[in-house]
Amino acid sequence: MSHLVLTLVGLLFLMPFVWLVLTSLKTDDEIFVVPVQWLPGAIQWENYTKAIHAIPYFRYMGNTIWIAALCVLGVVVIAPLVAYGFSKIDFKGRNGLFYIMLSTLMLPFQVTMIPIYVMFNKIDLTNSYWPIVLSSWFGTGLAYYIFLLRQFFLGIPHELTESAKIDGASELRIYAQIVLPLSKPALLTVGLFTFLGAWGDFQGPLIYLNDPDKWTLSIGLKQYIQENKVAWGQLMAASTIFTLPIVILYFFVQKKFIEGITITGLK
């Protein structure tokens, strides 16, 4: 019975994506027909070709991948280092600093948006990818990943690191050769969350990027809606193309991702 309930709930969450894909293959008349027509009559593959050619899709996709890759690289380097310090290195004021860092999660983006923009503008980094990337590396969202990894690191037996110290291993060696190899599922989870955030980020590119050649897919999709008559089939096709890389990525890493979520949640 529980499996049936889980299957039904899973199908419920899957329905919006299924509707998106099916709608992308319909004509506009079929989309708004009453009663609802789930399956397309004649498959409209041209919706995809028109959507791709309506904006410089591959350029925007390259920009988005580049930003997401830089964000992931920085976060998976910085977050575990900080989390290791908060979990395995005993120093004065450790817990206080951790709670101060954690409190930054309560700051909404709208509160820090203008001061951060002014700061980046004064150092002449606007209209570049660096404000987006640096905000990912050192912004308030990093605190969440540090928290996740700290919880995981706390579950690594203390005796394991202590025995390494007795053998003469430095903190850096313990971190690199013991802690990190045991933390692959958690690191993969953090990396995937970071990639998802960077891939779907709309506000960051909207605020900082003025040059159309530097736009990301989220901005390109919005521009497509503004500059063209709303052809819903093409819009759904563009949205499907935007979503598809994330779906494909998840299928490749879902086992490790679920393992990482489970482990970090239990620690």
pLDDT in tens, 233-245: 888 888 888 888 8
3 and 102 inside one domain: no
Residues 28 and 65 in one domain: no
The whole-model pTM stands at 0.85
For 58, the token pair is 């591959």
Q: What would the pLDDT profile of 82-138 be if each residue is shown by its tens digit? A: 999 999 888 888 889 999 998 888 888 888 889 999 999 999 999 999 999 999 998
Residues 98 and 135 reside in one and the same domain: yes
Q: What is the pLDDT of residue 160?
A: 85
Residues 92 and 181 in one domain: yes
Number of Cα atoms under 13 Å in the Cβ half of residue 98: 22
Apex CA 52: angle with CA 193 and CA 251, to 5°?
35
Together in a domain, 206 and 142: yes
Residues 119 and 156 reside in one and the same domain: yes
Question: What's the pLDDT band for 266 if we cut at 50, 70, 90?
Answer: very low
- Can you give the pLDDT at residue 122? 93
Indicate the SS3 state at residue 169.
coil
* DSSP conformation letters of 29-85: HHHT-SS---S-SS--THHHHHHHHHTTHHHHHHHHHHHHHHHHHHHHHHHHHHHHH
C-alpha distances in Å from residue 63, one per residue of 59, 89, 261: 6, 39, 29
On whether the CB atoms of residues 153 and 87 are closer than 8 A, the answer is yes
54: confidence class by pLDDT, cuts 50, 70, 90 = confident
d(CA 49, CA 170): 56
Q: Is residue 154 part of a domain?
A: yes
Looking at the structure, do residues 246 and 168 belong to the same domain, yes or no? yes
> Tell me, what amino acid is at 115?
P
133 lies in a domain?
yes
How far is it, in rounded angstroms, from Cα 11 to Cα 1?
A: 15
- 112 and 77 in a common domain: yes
Residue 147 is part of a domain; what is its CATH number?
1.10.3720.10
107 and 17, same domain (yes or no):
no
Q: What SS3 class is residue 251?
A: helix
Asked if residue 52 is part of any domain, the answer here is no
Asked if residue 50 is part of any domain, the answer here is no
Domain co-membership, 131 together with 9: no
Contact 140, 104 (CB under 8 A): yes
Q: What total number of domains does the chain contain? A: 2
As given in the structure block, the two tokens for residue 198 are 């960077």
Are 85 and 156 part of one and the same domain? yes
Same domain for 100 and 18: no
> For residue 251, is it within any domain?
yes
Sign of the CA dihedral running 204, 205, 206, 209: positive
Domain housing 6: 1-44
What is the per-residue pLDDT for 230? 73
